[in-house]
A = this chain, B = another copy of it.
């Protein structure tokens, strides 16, 4: 076993395809492939790989860009027109997500300043795609030299190779947390529209860091404010627990290790009726959104796994009619969703994030050509991703709700509603339009 070096491997190595096992016509193809790969045996300039994808049907977001390269961003297609919008609506959450914001986040220095280059005219959305770009400014390609040949444990290095048979190596490419910038920018637009439309508020916060667990009920979801969340660098609304969390992260930082955590997210004033029966239940869409985030390992809605320890008579949410003649539930173990459809109660969910796999400690691993080696990660990283994941979770929840709101609107509001059973989605909250989101 030896420490890996750059010279010990070719980049693609596809010259060693065992072509004898292939039928003759495919063999011919392989030979040609070989020639191709020879052409670029020695990496001159490591271009970056980028994986972009699209989320949503009506409110469609495609993100692009990667950790290293010109920059990152998104295209938002299907945005309602005539909404006042500027970079400031996105920048607020981008600043909450940005690296280097505090001593407990990765020291990479990025201002993450966004620029809208289409889809907005005269300060209003015009219905056509909104293109948002955030340049990368603090890249350090050299940090990744060693990783180009040794697979970092619990990263995407090995699986990208297994999937594509080829990979670029700098900074994790599309699997980098930097990809989430596009999500946060788009989420900012969705949040603004949801607030304008129905006064919907989406708040996430850190409810666990390693073994520091915020006791259930300590945070009052009816009165929780953004200021409480942002009052400390751990993004835990309880100051006492925030201190403990920060101390925990500081401790592992000293050791070059990392810890996991949990982010709780709530939605107040979510319109009723969002979500579609069967496969596109609201909790299913939220689960997909949350589990598409890097490092997420679990998702719960309402009572979640804890609810399995209850009996039906303990778990059911009884209905009553409140003083405004509105049908409500006395408890909310359903987490604001029943039968896959929002019921107007506060939506609540929890997302588990594993300990950041990037650690500054020696680990056993293998290289691309299957040689065993040891590796110490030398990039910059977060010792607990949860505090910075907070705005990203909020963004994904906003994208789901916005998409479902548009779906609900097009199907169920074309004709006058049945006001006995439904409520108007448009609520008199437009004063919020000029408020910061």
Q: Is A188 an interface residue (CB 8 A)?
A: no
Name the B residues within 8 Å of A137 (CB-CB). Answer: none
Quick one: given A168-B126, A175-B339, are A309 and B211 in contact (CB under 8 Å)?
yes
Bound complex: CA A261 to CA B47 (Å):
43
Q: Is A141 an interface residue (CB 8 A)?
A: no
Name the B residues within 8 Å of A418 (CB-CB). Answer: 12-14, 17, 33, 82, 165-166
A343 to chain B, nearest CB (A): 5
The answer to whether A426 touches B318 (Cβ under 8 A) is no
Give chain A's interface residue range (CB within 8 Å of chain B): 35 or more
The answer to whether A127 touches B292 (Cβ under 8 A) is no
The answer to whether B301 touches A33 (Cβ under 8 A) is no
The answer to whether B179 touches A51 (Cβ under 8 A) is no
Q: Is A267 an interface residue (CB 8 A)?
A: no
Q: Beta-carbon contacts of A134-155 to B below 8 Å, as 1s and 0s?
A: 0000000000000000010111
The answer to whether A341 touches B261 (Cβ under 8 A) is no
A selection of 11 A-B contacts at a CB cut-off of 8 Å is A14-B420, A21-B24, A49-B128, A50-B128, A155-B338, A196-B415, A260-B307, A281-B291, A300-B352, A321-B371, A321-B372
Quick one: given A29-B416, A292-B284, are A272 and B163 in contact (CB under 8 Å)?
yes
The answer to whether A372 touches B292 (Cβ under 8 A) is no
Of A56-64, A216-224, A228-236, A237-245, the one contacting chain B is A56-64
The answer to whether B312 touches A356 (Cβ under 8 A) is yes
Q: Is A254 an interface residue (CB 8 A)?
A: no
